[in-house]
Structure 1
Amino acid sequence: MKNWTLILVAVVAGGSFVVGKMVEKAPLPDVQPMTISVTGHGKVSAPPDIAELTFGVTTATLPTTRAAMEDLSKRMNAALDAVKSKGVPVKDVKMVHFSLYEVTHYKEKSNEQVHDGYAASQQLHVKVRDLGSVGDVLQAAISAGANQAGGVQFRIDNPEAFQAEARTQGVAQAKEKAEALASLLGKRLGRLKGYSESSGTRDRRLMGRAMTESADSAPPMPAGEEDVQVTVVLQYELSL
């Protein structure tokens, strides 16, 4: 919106008259309010309610692709049946890797790759909801023919409720920081201008390794607790 000022000029010279003229005023500068950004952290620790692990089979080198596939299928089916016998439903088992490949070796004398045969490999990802049976499930797979197992990870299946609690902590901490900073600057806390957050869960993972023979007993696998963390950033205007 334009601002105008009326200028009046009075002249007396053989008479009198008044002249008026409208003059446009320069607009006032648009002053943006000072803003501050503060960070708050929240953390909630809770016991995990699910474990995830992987197991698989890698065959020996066999003369044909068919032989490799048949050996892989036989051993994987046996391992899968053993896992299901421990109470793991089919819906909690998912294939995460499969490969069928040629096996060769380098012959230095003739400077060439020599064909040895074929091998196959497959890995399955398993969710175990009974944490007390994690070791038994892993042992059952190995005893039935799996020669790769591990990657055990304990986590919270649905962390949303814990994230909400951690978020509340983070926002409260950020607000407290903002009020203290505004007071330190001799200002008052104004309206909220922006909000952002990031969240995550620190899972506990036990690394796996290849197995060359059946295990006689399952090692202890304590689940401990998981840390659900949320970091928030609040941006406020400051006023006088």
Structure 2
Amino acid sequence: MLTVRSKKWLIAGVAAMALTTALYAPNLPSFGPQKVLAAEAGSVQNVITVTGQGEMTIAPDVAYVSLGIRTEADTAKDAQAANAAAYEKLRAVLFDTYKLAAKDVQTSGFRVQPEYTYTERDPKIKGYSATQMLQVTYRDLANLGTFLDAASAAGANQIEGVRFSTEKGQEYELQVIEKAMNNAKAKADAIAKYAGKEVKAIVAVNQGGGVAIPSQFSNIAMESKAMAMDAAGSPTSISTGELKVTTNVTVQYQF
């Protein structure tokens, strides 16, 4: 015969078993709902997957010019002082003559180092050099050669190169994506037509690698003497060339 205490334990055990069953019931095999889901999944068929390419050629609208001043003297202090004086002349051309914004002129390097003369024995210090390099953002590309000549005449005797690019990246990005999607749609239509079908809707899209906004480097390593000759005669001629913006998309269509 069950005591009152035993009855209480029995009731608690039954309640615990009922709760456990309720918690784990969703994980038990069930054939009704799963068959419905399987049927729905099986209804998605006739999918075409294509890759569309988008490409356009643009003219660069900005140049990043690496230029600087190198000075020499017997001491490091004098080399640095000479460099500072030369930079003031260049600064006047950049900001007063060409009206460049402060944000478009950035010091990219500054160094003072000994210069050596080499003999049969140990090298000897013959003096010191100071070099300050700038990166200049310049947008009037039609007059880029004239600008370089003016910078050279003002004391810039180190011009290491020009990188052409664009500041309209977002605008070109949307255009080239549209071209890629149109290319993908044309491919899907051709495949569906061959199969006797018709493209209905886009199932999924993946843009591979984003949009490549290019830059083109022109290795214009100009010596001060050569640039001085150009500055005295005809302006330096610079060819900007063209840039190619590309992207690709992978699109799935239902038909």
TM (norm. structure 1) is 0.72
Could you tell me which amino acid in structure 2 is paired with residue 121 of structure 1?
Answer: T
Change beyond 3 A, Cα 1:46–1:237:
closer
Change beyond 3 A, Cα 1:209–1:145:
same
Unpaired stretches in structure 1, ≥5 consecutive residues: 5-27
Any conservation in 2 of the 1:58–1:147 contact (CA below 8 Å)? yes
1:78-89 equivalence runs, <5 A: 78-84=89-95, 85-89=97-101
Residue aligning to 2:31: 3
Any conservation in 2 of the 1:86–1:136 contact (CA below 8 Å)? no
Any conservation in 2 of the 1:174–1:232 contact (CA below 8 Å)? no
Separation in 2, partners of 1:139, 1:211: 11
Matched, 1:48 2:60: yes
Residue aligning to 1:209: 221
Separation in 1, partners of 2:214, 2:187: 26
TM (norm. structure 2) is 0.69
Of 93, 97, 100, the residue aligned with 2:105 is: 93
Q: How far 1:237 sits from its partner (Å)?
A: 6.5
Q: Which structure carries more strand by proportion?
A: 1
Any conservation in 1 of the 2:61–2:165 contact (CA below 8 Å)? yes
Any conservation in 1 of the 2:63–2:139 contact (CA below 8 Å)? yes
Any conservation in 2 of the 1:153–1:205 contact (CA below 8 Å)? yes
Any conservation in 1 of the 2:149–2:236 contact (CA below 8 Å)? no
- Between the aligned residues of both structures, percent identity stands at 25
RMSD of equivalent CA atoms: 3.2
Separation in 2, partners of 1:106, 1:199: 51
Separation in 2, partners of 1:37, 1:107: 70
Further displaced range: 30-39 or 199-208: 30-39
Change beyond 3 A, Cα 1:41–1:235:
closer
Of 146, 150, 162, the residue aligned with 2:172 is: 162
Separation in 2, partners of 1:209, 1:49: 21
Residue aligning to 2:203: 192
Separation in 2, partners of 1:126, 1:105: 34
Change beyond 3 A, Cα 1:72–1:35:
farther
Residue aligning to 1:123: 133
Separation in 1, partners of 2:30, 2:140: 73
Unpaired stretches in structure 2, ≥5 consecutive residues: 1-28, 33-37
Any conservation in 1 of the 2:148–2:236 contact (CA below 8 Å)? no
Change beyond 3 A, Cα 1:113–1:168:
same
Separation in 1, partners of 2:214, 2:158: 25
1:23-172 equivalence runs, <5 A: 37-60=49-72, 62-84=73-95, 85-109=97-121, 112-149=122-159, 151-172=161-182
Q: How far 1:66 sits from its partner (Å)?
A: 0.7
Q: Which structure carries more helix by proportion?
A: 2
Could you tell me which amino acid in structure 2 is paired with residue 192 of structure 1?
Answer: V
Change beyond 3 A, Cα 1:76–1:129:
same
Aligned residues: 214
Change beyond 3 A, Cα 1:3–1:90:
closer
